[in-house]
Structure 1
Amino acid sequence: MIKIVKDKDGLYQFVLKSGNGQVLLKSIPFNSENETDSTIKDIKALKKSNGKFFERRTNTDGRFLVELKNSTGKIVGSSGLYTSEAGMENGILNITNSLE
């Protein structure tokens, strides 16, 4: 599930949630709702074309996270932290499924 929210500064962000409502990924802030919608459409198109739009990372504490990229390679969102690589891979699967 994708939800678009507007923050107190008037910036927009999309949030990807699992079926049970758990936040899987938050986007970077966007200046307009139109820019946010355009980015979501871009990412959905990448998913359909099996594009590589995830970057797997490890933070300084050794925990894992996923960064979501658009078609130009710009990072547009980040997941929460995972304690294992398997958990991260499961998170990627859940993020991918939430893009439908």
Structure 2
Amino acid sequence: MAANPKFQVFKSVANSQYYYRLRSTNGEVILSSEGYTTKQSCLNGIASVKVNAPFDARYERKDAFGSYTFNLKSSNGEIIGISENYTTSTARENGIQAVKRDAPQAPTEDLS
């Protein structure tokens, strides 16, 4: 259980790409990245999340039957973070609020 929110950078053994995940104060993963070819690109992605997280307009909310997700986008419209699946829109909104609250100040832990 994580006491503090944090970004974790890790390298996939499957494709040798770098990814980040943002863990909330309860240890749950609340945001994940797509794959990056370099660690620096991954760190740049985290920096972009920190800048864009506070702005509600950057969140693209998606609804499917029994599945609610969101994407966090940068100012140029690129997806920089992908949420977990939520079973209700209320749970998704709680996830967005957690990213807004946690991401800007979260430290980065390098697991790669």
- TM-score normalized by the length of structure 1: 0.86
**Which residue of structure 1 aligns with residue 30 of structure 2?**
24
Q: In 2 relative to 1, CA 26–84 (structure 1 residues): closer, same or farther, beyond 3 Å? A: same
Whether the aligned pair in 1 keeps the contact of 2:22 and 2:29 (CA below 8 Å) is: yes
Q: Residue 102 of structure 2 aligns to which amino acid in structure 1?
A: S
Structure 1: stretches of 5+ with no match in the other structure: none
**Which residue of structure 2 aligns with residue 58 of structure 1?**
63
What's the C-alpha RMSD, in Å, of the aligned pairs?
Answer: 1.6
What is the 5 A alignment of 1:53-92? 53-59=58-64, 61-92=65-96
Deviations 1:48-95 (A, max 9, x none): 6x3632110012x23211111122111122111111111111110111
**Which residue of structure 2 aligns with residue 42 of structure 1?**
48
Distance of 1:51 and 1:73 partners within structure 2: 13
Structure having greater relative contact order (Cα 8 Å, sep ≥ 6): 2
- Look up the SS of the partner of 1:89 in the other structure: helix
Q: Which runs of 4+ in 1 moved over 6 A?
A: none
- TM-score normalized by the length of structure 2: 0.78
Whether the aligned pair in 1 keeps the contact of 2:53 and 2:99 (CA below 8 Å) is: no
Distance of 1:84 and 1:10 partners within structure 2: 34
**Which residue of structure 1 aligns with residue 3 of structure 2?**
none
